[in-house]
Amino acid sequence: MQKLGILIFLIAPFLSFSQPTEEQIQQVAEAKKEVKKMKGKSFPDFTLTTLDGTSYTKEELKGKILLVNFWFSRCTPCIMEMPEMNEMVSEFKNENIVFLAPTFDDLEKVNKFLGKREFLYEIVPDVKDFCLALNVRSYPTHFVVNRDGVIEKVIIGYSSVTVGALRKSIRKLLKSE
């Protein structure tokens, strides 16, 4: 009987989630296509304020490489990649690169999350409209933006090669100085 109770405890959270509809699946697929089409185009204008109050605009970042990582606190793939992402931030800390991490999570959720985990990006909470404006519906989504504000690479999702591909793209941009 105790084993049954444990089993119910373990699977109960999954029982409350409904399966996405075919329409929702199609919307996400279309959004992914639109995001991938952004490669080679100018990254949209923005003003983003990080947890520490630092404000960034696209115009102010001209001349710098920008890595943008859209994430949220309950995203398992986002969490899985964070240790590697932190290593990458440390590796390039002396370069002219800004690592931004916009999330639709509010300040309270982000602070609670950061109380348990470290994420070295400049975190920008509560920017749901910015996420939607860029058609980001899948997480994590990464943009590598060159010094002229043009999107060099888009990676949607996380795999064992994600961070390596981001590093390669950054190194290529650094060599082109």
What's the pLDDT tens digit per position in 96-154? 999 999 999 999 999 999 999 999 999 999 999 999 999 898 999 999 999 999 999 99
Query: Could you read off the pLDDT of 45-69 as tens digits, one per residue?
Result: 999 999 999 999 999 999 999 999 9
The CATH class, in words, for 39-175 is alpha beta
Tell me the mean pLDDT in the region 31-39.
Answer: 77
- Burial of residue 165 (CB within 10 Å: 0-12, 13-18, 19+) is middle
Task: Specify whether the CB–CB gap between 53 and 89 falls below 8 A.
Answer: no
DSSP state letters, 40-106 = TSBPPP-EEE-TTS-EEETTTTTTSEEEEEEB-TT-HHHHHHHHHHHHHHHHTTTSSEEEEEEBSS-
Judged against a pLDDT cut of 70, whether residue 31 lies above it is answered with no
Domain extent listing, the chain: 39-175
The token duo for 10 is 């373990």
Residue 177 confidence (pLDDT): 67
Judged against a pLDDT cut of 60, whether residue 19 lies above it is answered with yes
Provide the whole-model pTM: 0.83
